[in-house]
Each structure stands twice: as structure tokens, then as C-alpha cells.
Structure 1
């Protein structure tokens, strides 16, 4: 409980009267990539110049072009916390959070991604409010007190040291929970458009997919999965990179620079009436994306690296009935057929004729259930 929470005068008065009414706070820890989750209490025992430190090890050798730092801690009057990051090569530490001591602001908890590219300085603007320490890291994207770009151009390999102290130890304690280092991050998003949402059966129309990089670092190793739905036939494609219709993979050569994009246009056609939804997703990318994970559309379909469009085709014949792929096919005598069912019934009436629903198809027609057409 915090008494006289709204002002430092009340806190100073309580300290002068003897801080017997208050005890040291305690909290719990959580987890992530280049990371520390070793919890530590932030209280009078680590009042500056005393401190606690946490190391984060980077095993790989690579050059830093951009570094963001995630920081999660509970603390009433969070601006009591001072946070510095020291690089492995022994360079000068960068003070990411400037502790304000007695005159600190009355906001609680840090759940922040410290990012030079953010337009909002920590503890100002939209961040002039409490952070939710229980929200998934990291809740707010803000600019640190001093720029992380001081580390750019150096090799990331080695042990990074976070140093934390409390600039007003007597009151308002808390706990360090988690910190992450995010190097050379990208921010890919995907958009998808269609030339018409109501194409005529047999007529060509186009899908256009655009992948954009809003991150501070170039994106490499980028591919997009855009498997055409059953009933939509590939005619041609053009644009950056190479598209393989059989797999649905669009591979983008080279890199996508910060602020740049790449596009692919796929010309297609549909033979049958019906509604068709086409979904594309960023499938692979080197480096960590700020707000999405490549190749996880099944578990996170709302991320910004996934996009869908729907069309309704008319003016043609109805689509042939579908069999569930993988079902065992039998002939009219009940004997299993050797072919593997692909899920499409052939509309060819010349072989065996059509069979009314609920009866066994002739052998020759049953065999055609195995053909994609």
C-alpha cells in the first residue's frame, strides 16, 4: 500500500517520521530470447550508488545495426528506477532510464520496449500513465532516456550487463522481472488486393501481394506462402522474386530495406461458381520481427504479416462435389481401390455415367474420384 501516493512531500514526511509503516515490496518473475528473468528486489538495499546487475549472453557474432531493449519491472513511482546497459567490449554504459529520485513521477511499473525509433520519450505523452506489469511483454514502445544507437556498428557477441538501482530507496519498492535484447529487428507486414471481387467463371483476374518492412533494419531471407485455393487456377505471375505455384512459395531475393516493399501479381482464373478465400502469410524471414512471427498463421491469424481476400465467382457451372482427401475409396462391390483420393470428383459424365446420391458408383467412375480436375 502507498500512503500519500500523489506527492513526494507526503513520502518525505513519512520517511522523516520513520518508515516503520512500510516494508520492502516483493514480486515474481517471467521469460523470452537474449534474455534475463532472474528476479531481484529494487528497494533501499540497492539505493544508488548501490545496484543490482543482470547479464545477458549473446553467443553469435554479428554486427549491430539496431538494438532495442525490453524491460519489465514492478515499482510504485517507477521513475525511481535507474537503468544502464554496458556492452561486452567494455565501452561506456548507456543510461536507458534516468532515475528522478525524490522528484520522480507518480506512475507505476515499467513494461516497455526501449526503441530509438519511437516517437514518444519514456514517461511522456501516452506513456504518462501506469504500465500493466501483468500484460505480455512489451506493452509500450517508447524512446529511452539516451540513445541505444551508441552501440551500433559493434559486434554483439559476449556478455551484456544491465545495472539497476533505486534513486529514492526509502519508499516505493518493486521488483525487476525481465529484460530482453532485440538486435537488428525487422517489421514486416503483408497486404493483399484482388482486381475484382466478383470475377466471371473462366475469366482471368489478379491477386497482388505486397510485403513491406517498417523496421529499422533490412529484412533478408524473406518468403511468402500464398497457396491458391482449390478451384483457382494459376495462369501467370510477375513481380519481385520467384513464385512456385505448386508450393505456393514466393521467394524474394536480396533484402527489403527499411521503408521499402516488394510486390507480386498472380493472374488466375476459376472454372466454377462459388466463393473462394485466398490467404497469404510471410513464411520465412531472418531476424526477429517486432510484432509477428513468420509461418504461424494457424495459431495467430490476426498478425500483420497475414492477409486475405475473398472473391465470388459466377456465370459458370457449379463446382463439382468434393470428397474429403484421405478417405478410402471403394468400388461397387465394396472392394478398396488402390488409388489415393485427392478430394475432387471428376465431372466427366462419359465414363460410367453419373451415380445418384446414396448408391455405389460404377468402378470406372469411382476410380475418377482419385483424379484432380
Structure 2
């Protein structure tokens, strides 16, 4: 019997205090009642400690499968160590033992290598369960990292199928590693509007905490935007570059870190992101008197907006026409200059379509 929450037994120290409280409260309870209450509280505390009964290992009969990790995250030295461990177990167990190597997929024997781009433990256990329809034993050897499905669910299915799963953990050797963890850009930007491109890196040295030099490259739509020599300190660090999108559409961005020092995996030095570039804001500038909005219109145009100047009589009544604009600006427009239909359309396009409305003068 083991207790998964033994700290709960500290609550037993409160039982004598409860007895004193009952006696000082003037309630002279029979000792038999007090003892019964204390026993109930003790059992409740024992239940909170979460007891688990250990079962003795029973010998498993049937075939033996040894499945071992050969993903790229282990490095060649780690792969060789796990492969040697698996072969030693198979040799000791006898000629009927089968070997399965796994990464992103599963391959049989030790002559082929799996796809090292991932470490799908769930897929490996599922394959082992399919190869042992009548039960048996599986020995899983790896570093514990999983990039696939639900490992616990697959292990439970294997146990239900009469398959015992034993795990041997082998820690991979420590290696220096630089990773581009994120490439962040705004999801939506305006054409002609500058925005930030943020590159997040993580550097894990072995012993020497000295920053490492690297080249940072950024591509926009597969064209090199720029290259910069940077210094990456240990831990997480961010680099920010400002860019201006010119053409509306989908913008594809990619970044790469090329370290000048030691790095184990080059595949995780790349990250990508996309941003939707919208055309410049389109404004409808309504003039109450001719040329009243000339100065404001010129200023808005210089700020990168598309401005259409019209008289009050040209204000559309149809909502679909007003919805073509991102905002409406009324310059020196009085209420009696607008028709009732125009007022209702302006109110509705703001309330229902979320368009902007600015009134100047009037």
C-alpha cells in the first residue's frame, strides 16, 4: 500500500484540538460517540491521502517487442546508445524477440532508419499492439519526448489487450542548441503602414554562457528582405525588424538563424508566418460648402488614405454603397442639408456595419 498524498496525514494533529473544543463547548458527549466521530474523521483523512494498493509483478508469457526511439532530437550519439541498448535486450531475450525503431513512423529491424522528424510514441505503441493480438510484452526505450498522439491512451489500450509495457528512459547527451521559437507579425496590416516583425530565439549552451554570433535573415514572399549579424544570448531573446507592406494581399514571411558557432539541429532554426495586407483606408469626405474639406482631404491623402470628396447631395442612400468606405467625414454639414433617408443610412452603416463617422463643424 502506498499513499499518493501522505501530507494529508498532518490533519490528524487537529483531532485532539477537536476533542478539547467539544469538551469546552459544554457538550458532555459519551466517549463512545467521541471515539466514533474520531474514527470517521480518521478514515476521511486516510481517503484524502489517496491510498493505492501495489500489485506484484506477474510474469508475462508471449512474444517480446523492443521498440526504440531513433528521432533526430537524440543526436547520432543518443541514437547509437539507444540502439545498442535495444539490441542488447533483444540478444538476451532470445531469437524470437522483434525490434522496432520509431521516429515519426515505425520501421522493423535495425537495418532501416525511421523518419527522424518526429517522435510518435503513440504510433509506436499502436503498432506494437497490432503486432501482438494475443498479448505479450513491450519494452519501450527512448528519451520520453513525444510529438504524436495520446501516449497514455495507447498504453491503456495495450494493457486492456493483455500487453505489458515497460519503459526504459535514456537521457540524450547535452548539446548546444539554438532554436527559432516564434516569428510574430500582425495578422492584419494596411498597405503603406509600417509594422514590426519579431523573431524569438532560444539558446541553450552546454557550459559556457557566452552569447553566440549568428546571421539573421528574413524573406518576404521568398525575396530576401535583409540580413543582419546578431549576437544571441543564452535563454530567450527577441529581435524586431520594421517593414512596410506595399501591395495588398497575403504576405508570406520566413526567417532563418545561421549561427557561427556550434549548433546541433539546423532544422529548428527556421520559422514562418503570414499577414494579410489590406488596401489603404477609404474615406468619404462630405463637404457642406464647396472646398470646405480641401485642406483636410489633402492631409488625409498625405497620411496614406484614399479620400473621395463629395457634396451633401452626392451622399449615397444605399447601404451597400456606403459600406464601400471605411469611414465617413462630415465637414461643415448641417442637419437640414441631409435628407431623412441619408441620415438613416448614415446611422445604419455606423451601427450595423461598424463604419466610422466623424463630424467637423456643422
TM-score interval (norm. to shorter): 0.3 to 0.5
Greater per-residue helix proportion:
2
- Structure showing greater Rg: 2
Higher RCO (CA < 8 A, seq sep 6+): 1
> So what's the TM-score if we normalise by structure 1?
0.32
